[in-house]
Amino acid sequence: MGSGASKKASDSSPGSQPKGEKEILAELEALAFATATTPEAVDHTAVEVAASALQRFPQSRDIGTAACNALLLLLQNPDLRPFAHSPAVVQSVVAVSRNDPDFSPQLLALLCFDDASRRDVHTALQHRVCGKFNDDIAAEAAFVLLQLIQSRAVPENLDEHTIAVLKNLEKTANKESKVKATGSRLWLQQ
């Protein structure tokens, strides 16, 4: 299952070795390019390739970034989202979101599909708002978090630390900031 598109046994020795990190990275980059240029040509096997790469190389920052970039592009297609909707994929993406400054929090928004994933996404976005990153990264996560709360995709309750950080972000953010654009002040007064 899922072998065809992603297996190239012919160019390796009998009893072929699993692909290494460099090969997987090249495959993910090609996948992201194909998705960006001809989205109609990719199918659910592309989601499976990106998801399995995340799970096979949990310690690799390069693979985490490349797989999440590919998933972000792939999941713009609503028909492909169910193939990424598994607890294992959500956990792998959440792990990347905690450590990678280049991660797009929009990907987390595409992974809300049941109560457990909504809780995981809610927690991960709060962690990113309050984490070790700079204000721009925190503001981007805050924007996604507040949008999801407004659309009732995730629980409304925020912990006190997150609320304090959001209030501070709103004070320090520049006028064009996404945090200002969400009308977060309305949420914070509730």
User: Tens digit of pLDDT for each residue in 115-153?
Assistant: 999 999 999 999 999 988 888 888 889 889 988 988 888
Whether the per-residue pLDDT at 85 is higher than 90: the answer is yes
Cα dist. 122→107, 141, 170 in Å? 13, 10, 19
What are the backbone angles phi and psi of residue 76, rounded to the nearest 5°? -65, -25
Q: What pLDDT does 181 receive?
A: 45
Mention every residue, 6+ apart, whose C-beta is less than 8 A from residue 128: 97, 98, 103, 105, 137, 138, 141
> Please, which pLDDT band fits residue 55 given cuts at 50, 70 and 90?
very high
Q: What pLDDT does 12 receive?
A: 40
Q: What pLDDT does 184 receive?
A: 52
Number of H helices, E strands in the chain: 10, 0
Q: What pLDDT does 68 receive?
A: 97
What is the C-alpha to C-alpha distance for residues 75 and 73, in angstroms, rounded to an integer? 6
Q: What percent of the chain has pLDDT over 90?
A: 59
Question: CA torsion sign, 145 to 33 to 24 to 7?
Answer: positive
- Sole residue written with tokens 């599909």: 113
Q: Across all residues in the chain, what is the average pLDDT? A: 84
What is the C-alpha to C-alpha distance for residues 190 and 180, in angstroms, rounded to an integer? 17
Q: What pLDDT does 180 receive?
A: 52
Provide the whole-model pTM.
0.81
Which helix (H) or strand (E) segment is 18 a member of? none
Q: What pLDDT does 174 receive?
A: 60
Question: CA torsion sign, 100 to 104 to 106 to 111?
Answer: negative
Q: What pLDDT does 169 receive?
A: 79
